[in-house]
Structures are given as structure tokens and as C-alpha cells.
Amino acid sequence: MSDTRLSVFKTYKLYVGGKFPRSESGRVYEVTDAKGKWLANAPLSSRKDARDAVVAARKAFGGWSGATAYNRGQILYRIAEMLEGRRDQYVAEVADAEGLSKSKAGLQVDAAIDRWVWYAGWTDKIAQVVGGGNPVAGPFFNLSSPEPTGVVAVLAPQESSFLGLVSVVAPVIATGNTAVVVASEKSPLPALSLGEVLATSDLPGGVVNVLSGRTAEIAAPLAAHQDVNAIDLAGADEVLAKELEIAAADNLKRVLRPQPVDDWSATPGTDRMTAFLETKTVWHPTGSLGASGSAY
Amino acid sequence: MAPVFDYAPAPESRSIVDLAPSYGLFIDGEFTEAAGGKVFKTVSPSSEEVLSEVAEATEEDVDRAVKAARKAFEKWSALPGSERAKYLFRIARIIQERSRELAVLETLDNGKPIKETRDADLPLVAAHFFYYAGWADKLDHAGYGANPRPLGVAGQVIPWNFPLLMLAWKIAPALATGNTVVLKPAETTPLSALFFADICRQAGLPKGVVNIITGDGRTGAALIAHPDVDKVAFTGSTAVGKEIARTVAGTRKKVTLELGGKGANIVFDDAPIDQAVEGIVNGIFFNQGQVCCAGSRLLVQESIHDELLDSLKRRLSTLRLGDPLDKNTDIGAINSAEQLARITALADQGEAEGAERWSPACELPSSGYWFAPTLFTKVTQAHTVARDEIFGPVLSVLTFRTPDEAVAKANNTPYGLSAGIWTEKGSRILAVANKLRAGVIWSNTFNKFDPTSPFGGYKESGFGREGGRHGLEAYLDV
């Protein structure tokens, strides 16, 4: 390689409906590394971008929630496979974004890959852990099953640009929801690049939509949107979180409040899945054959 | 009924399978000869062609395999669950990649139609590893308390009817929970397990975690009796299952047994007849009826008996029996001469006892082990064909008038593995299912399997469940 070769910059774009559009507003903002060095111009998403993303997520919901849990697990595992193959790219992006050494950034990326594997395994097990038959006092079959709540707006954590992002997105889609994700405001590049992996992992377009820009600006229309079913406030500060929760009350969105997270690499429980699940209980009469029949 | 069109041959190529002339025992990550050097042949049941020779493991080999598994247990069980998970995911993926090869191999060694190995066995094998891979790092959530521990070395003996699928049912949950295994495939179908050994190599599985030893019943008995085996898992006949229960009596070995069955397929007068006929055919002719959960007793409500039998006979006349590697074949070969002799003897006994025997016009190939699809009508509960597990393509037809009578007849067996219910009325399905003493009840369907769904029997069909969250318990110290 010649020293004089000029590298090719990547134009970072949004990921919406399986495509990579620019912001409809035509706006970008400057993204820098931890030392203030220019990295890229990221799209500065508008309210309209947020609404377009909701439309894409809603459109994808029927197919994704209707896919078998096994199929969703296969696709989540495929995401892990694709990420592993592009590990170096994400290590570099995370190192730049969070001011980490290559080895520390590597640990973040490894944990993010393993997180996809963790949730790949949950797709066909969550119903067995949180659902089940109920022994009602009467001649009825009675079964409770979890179902995805719908379109979930996810405000990704501000500090952990990639592991934190994956840790909040994967549990939302594992159970069959679709997501509109607002990337870390300061460090959106790893999130925008994740779209490249999602787009090549058999994940149907629109299941995950990634927006970058000012969290408060994008989150407000999402929290108030009548076709959004739930919102994860992980990336909102205390003041914004309260504002958004109030807006979300208008159509009684399920709200996951910001939780203090010291270490995103710790093994997650099931909370981030159950926060976005509905429980459906089906009754059916069992009829009666009387007391006869073999006892053995 | 004359066929309107003839089928052109549609053979699957066997060149995708590269068979070695002989295979050793897979112990501690290496293929080795058996102590004493004895070997036996495995043949293709559809042609009697010798496929390969495999080693016959002695007690000494069993001991070597158990020692390898014991040695591997310490590190394997101490691995974080997330790492064990990733090994199992790798195995699942490699099985998917090699599924065409494995399907052809399984059809060659077992005799079942390629459309079954390709569309049922292999997808289920991969799915089973996928499913249990996911459990490996989630055992705290499985309902057995925090940090449930593995048992140690599992000795596993599996049958010849679904060789690779039964291997998956045994090995996947054992490894996910942190056990190491010594597995003995059936004498007549050892090859896919030996190919699985190669998959373990490709996946980089640590040595000794999976050991495969081949041999006959004596090898299996030695494995089960080995004092350093902590867990015994067996799928096979009820007679052998009882022998195993005696062998482990007084030891600390945990046991699961998945044994025989005499499943009742109950058809009510409001059932959709065509759908029921498909289910009945699937229930007893899938895998030539060599299925422990086969619907081998058809219980028909009297008022629709004639109509249903007419439809059933018409459908049976369209089944294609022959070369298992032909993609249009519905009925393949019986697995062994021994099994064929058993089916033949029981069918002859049915006739001798006065049941009415019927088979469609069906030309059997000149070499190999074959048995035409067979129906018995005018069967009573006292007939041998209504009581004994035939494990072949033989259906006994009985009738009933009321749901109570159907339930009483269905339960009138020492077995309790499966049952089918055909009716449009949901409450009747649930009421009848409530009364049936069987571990798996299929409603308006039959022979459905899924890794998430527990499978296993009541009564003399064995105990313990395989599959689902329940399947973990068999391999945990809980």
C-alpha cells in the first residue's frame, strides 16, 4: 500500500424500513471522537423522520411478530454471526466513539455479539418462562401466553454507544416487537453502522429503524405518537424522561424508565423483554365426560 | 384403481455421502479400534448392501469412554453457560450446513424415505441443538432454582428408528446443562452418530465431552451398568427399559426412559374425514410405523366406520413403497430382517386370531426388508394386534359409540405415550384429552414434534420428558 492513498470516507445514513436514507430534513451534525477530532457528519433527524420510522416499524410488525419464535432466533443468531465477521470495524468505531483502547473496545464488541446470542436463545423460551396454563376452578382450559406489545421507541443509552445499544434493542425485537431506535446523541456512528449488519442478516426491513440526531427532538414526537405502543427511556436524562413519560400517557404507552446501569456487560435478566410484552389469556370450555374412564 | 400418471424416478444422489470402509469408536476426541478388534457390518435395509464396518465396543472400551467423559466433565461443567451455548449453536449450524449429506446417510442406513429424513429428521435435529443451545446460559430461569448443577457423565442408549434425532434429543440437553456423554447408537444404524462425531470435531468441541461407542445390546448394558455413570437415558423397547430399571435399582443414577406405545387415534363422527385420513396415514405409516408414538390403534366412531375405512383404503392405495432415496417414496424399508420377522409374525397372528387383514395392491422390491401397509378390521381389544406394539406399518381398527367408551378403550393398554383426537368440537377435544392417560395428545393432527414441546410417556411408556423446559430436568441435579 502506498502511503499516499487517500481513504474513502463513509457517508453515515439512517436505517429505516430496510433502506439507508438521509434525513428528510437535509440536516447533519458533526460527530467527533473523545478528543474532539472530527469523525463524520451524522444525519440530524427530524420529527418527520421519526414518523416515517414509525410507519416502517408498524408495517414490519405483522410479519415479524407472526414469524415463529424459532425463525426469530435464527435471525438474531445470524446477526451475531455477521457482527463477528465485521468485528474490527466495530472495534474501531467503538474505540473512537467512546475513547477506549482497542482492547477495551474489543471487549465491548465481543459482549455485544454475545448479547445477540443470548437473546437469540430467548425467542422460543420466554413464553415458557412467563406463560403457562392456569388451573382455574372450573371446567376450562386456560392458557396465558406473552405477545409482543407492538412498535417500541427505544432511546439508546448515551454513554455505551454499541453494547448499550444492542442491550436495549435485542430484547425488544427478540419477542416480536419492532423498534424505532434513537442512537446515542454524541456517539451515533456504531448504531448507524449496525444497520449494515441488520440489513444483511435476514432481518426484515423495518423491524429495527435507527435514527441519529438530538435525542430530545426525536423522542418528543415518538413519545406522543399514537401508533407507538411503548417507549424505553434508557437514553433520556431525568428531566426529559419525565416529560416523555407524561407525553406517553396519552395513549398509555408501556414505559420503561431509565435504569442506572454500571456495567452493560453483566448478564441481563428478562426484564427488558417482559417490559414490552402483553399477556393474553385464552379460555375454552373442556366439557365433561363424567367420572368414568380408566383410572390407570 | 389404475394410476392416471406414472411417476418418473426421482432419486436423490448418494454421492454426497463419503462412506469409509470402517469406523472406530469415538473416544476422547479420537477414532480408535475396539479392544479385541471386533467389528460388525451395517447394511442398507432397502438393498442389504453392506455400507460399512463399525467397531464392537467391549466393557473395556465402555470404561475408556466413561473415563474420557469423566475427565472432560470438570472443565466442561465449569465453562460459563454462554460458552457452552456457543458450542451448541456451532453444532446446530454445522448440522444445517450438512443436512443434505446427513439426510442421505440416514436414509441409507435406516431405510426410511428421503423425504422424511430431509423434511422431518434433519430440520428437527438442528432445531433441537438450537433450542438447547439457548438454554445453556439461562438455566437460572428454567424453574429449578438458582444455578442448577449438572449430574456428571450421562450414559445414553438410543434406537434405530430416528438415529440422529434421538441423538439430538439426548446430547443437546445433556451438553447444555454441563454434562458430558457416552452415547451408544443402535446396532443397525450407527453411521449418523459417527458422522456426528466429525461435526463435534468441526465445532471444536473439547475432547471427551461427546464419546460415541458402537455395539449391540451388550455394549449398551455395560454402559448403563458402569459404576461411574451418573445418568442413564434410554429410548427403546419397554422390555429393555424394565431391564434397565432393574439394573440401576439401588444406585444413585438418575434415569429417564422413553419406551414403547400403542397410541390410540380417536376419530369422532364430526371429524373432517379427509383431514383425519391424512392424520391416520401419518400416524401409522410415517417411518413405516416404526415410531414409539405411532397411532397404531384407530378408534372410529361406529357411525362413520364404513365411510372412513373406504377413504382410508383409497388413500393407502396411492402410497408409494420402494427406493427410500426416491423423492416420491412414501413408504421405505423396514429397518432390519429381525424387525421384519417380528412384524410378519404379529400380523400373521392377527389373521390367525380372526381379525380381517387388508393391504393395497403393492409390489415389494426383491431385495431388502419390506412390509406392505396393512390394516386390520374387526379387531377387538383382546386381539394381539390391538395390544402388542408391532412397530411396523400395521394399523388395527376398532370402533366405539360414546366418548366414554373411546376413552376407556384408548386407555386400555399398559402403554401411555401418545393419542390423537379428531373432532371439530373444541370442548370435546379438551374433555377427552383430560381423560387420556398419555404424555402427548395430538388434536386434529398427529406426529408433530418440536424442540420446545415436552415428549414422553405415562405408565409403561417410560418416565421423564425430553424436549422443552421440562427436558432440562433429566440432566440437572434437581
pLDDT, tens digit (0-9, with 9 covering 90-100), for B229-265:
999 999 999 999 999 999 999 999 999 999 999 999 9
Residues of A in contact with B441 (CB under 8 A): none
What ipTM goes with this model? 0.95
Contact A204/A127 with Cβ under 8 angstroms? Answer: no
How many domains does chain A contain in total? 1
Rounded mean pLDDT of chain B?
Answer: 97
Evaluate if pTM is beyond 0.90.
yes
In the prediction, which pLDDT does B406 show?
A: 97
B148-180 burial, b at 16+ Cβ within 10 Å, e below that, comes to: bebbbbbbbbbbbbbbbbbbbbbbbbbbbbbbb
**Interchain contact, B131 vs A114, CB within 8 Å:** no
CB proximity A279 to B under 8 Å: no
Q: Which residues of B are catalytic?
A: 258, 292
Residue B363 to chain A, least CA–CA distance (Å): 41
In the prediction, which pLDDT does A291 show?
A: 47
Q: What is the CATH number of the domain that holds A62?
A: 3.40.605.10
Q: A192 lies in which domain range?
A: 28-285
Phi-psi region of B185 (alpha: psi -120 to 50; beta: other; left: phi over 0): beta
pLDDT, tens digit (0-9, with 9 covering 90-100), for B35-44:
989 999 999 9
pLDDT, tens digit (0-9, with 9 covering 90-100), for B3-35:
678 889 999 999 999 999 999 999 999 999 999
Nearest to B435 among A124, A293, A296 (CB): A293
The chain B residue lying nearest A139, using CA atoms, is B431
In the prediction, which pLDDT does A2 show?
A: 60
Q: Could you tell me what percent of chain B has a pLDDT over 90?
A: 98
What is the DSSP code string of A151-213?
EEEEE--SS-TTHHHHHHHHHHHHTT-EEEEEPPSS--HHHHHHHHHHTTTTPPTTSEEEE-S
Q: Where in chain B is the domain with CATH 3.40.309.10?
A: 264-443
Fold type of domain B22-259+458-473: Aldehyde Dehydrogenase; Chain A, domain 1 (3.40.605)
Q: Which CATH superfamily is domain B264-443 in?
A: Aldehyde Dehydrogenase; Chain A, domain 2 (3.40.309.10)
Whole-angstrom Cα Rg for chain B: 22
In the prediction, which pLDDT does A295 show?
A: 42
> Rounded mean pLDDT of B94-107?
98
B217-225 and B59-78 helices, crossing angle to 10°: 50
Nearest to B134 among A114, A125, A141 (CB): A125
Q: 3-class DSSP state for residue A235?
A: coil
In the prediction, which pLDDT does B275 show?
A: 97
Contact B133/B463 with Cβ under 8 angstroms? Answer: no
pLDDT, tens digit (0-9, with 9 covering 90-100), for B173-208:
999 999 999 999 999 999 999 999 999 999 999 999
Rounded mean pLDDT of chain A?
Answer: 96
Of A15, A29, A63, the C-alpha closest to A169 is A15
Residues of B in contact with A284 (CB under 8 A): 426-427, 430
Direct distance between the N- and C-terminal alpha carbons of chain B, in angstroms, rounded to an integer: 58
d(Cα B372, Cα B388) in Å, to the nearest integer? 19
Sheet strands side by side (includes A208-211): A208-211, A178-182, A151-155, A230-232, A254-256
Separation of CA B436 from chain center: 22
In the prediction, which pLDDT does A294 show?
A: 43
Residues of chain A with pLDDT under 70: 1-2, 290-296
Residue B224 has pLDDT above 70, yes or no: yes
> Hey, what's the cell of B197?
462425531
The chain B residue lying nearest A286, using CA atoms, is B427
**Interchain contact, B134 vs A122, CB within 8 Å:** yes
Of A168, A131, A126, the C-alpha closest to A270 is A126
d(Cα B478, Cα B348) in Å, to the nearest integer? 47
Whether A73 is in a domain gets the answer yes
In the prediction, which pLDDT does B408 show?
A: 97
B211 sits in which H/E element: strand B210-212
Strands (E), B245-380: 254-258, 264-267, 297-301, 356-358, 374-377
CB proximity A73 to B under 8 Å: yes
Chain B residues with a Cβ under 8 Å from any Cβ in chain A = 82, 85-86, 89, 127, 130-131, 133-138, 141-143, 403-404, 407-408, 411-412, 425-428, 430-432, 434-435, 437, 451-452, 459, 468-469
Contact B196/B60 with Cβ under 8 angstroms? Answer: no
Q: Where in chain B is the domain with CATH 3.40.605.10?
A: 22-259+458-473
CB proximity A10 to B under 8 Å: no
Residues 6 or more apart in contact with residue A260 via CB below 8 angstroms: none
State the burial class of residue B71 (Cβ atoms within 10 Å of its Cβ: 0-12, 13-18, 19+): middle
The chain A residue lying nearest B415, using CA atoms, is A296
- Rounded to 5 degrees, φ, ψ at B397 are -105, 125
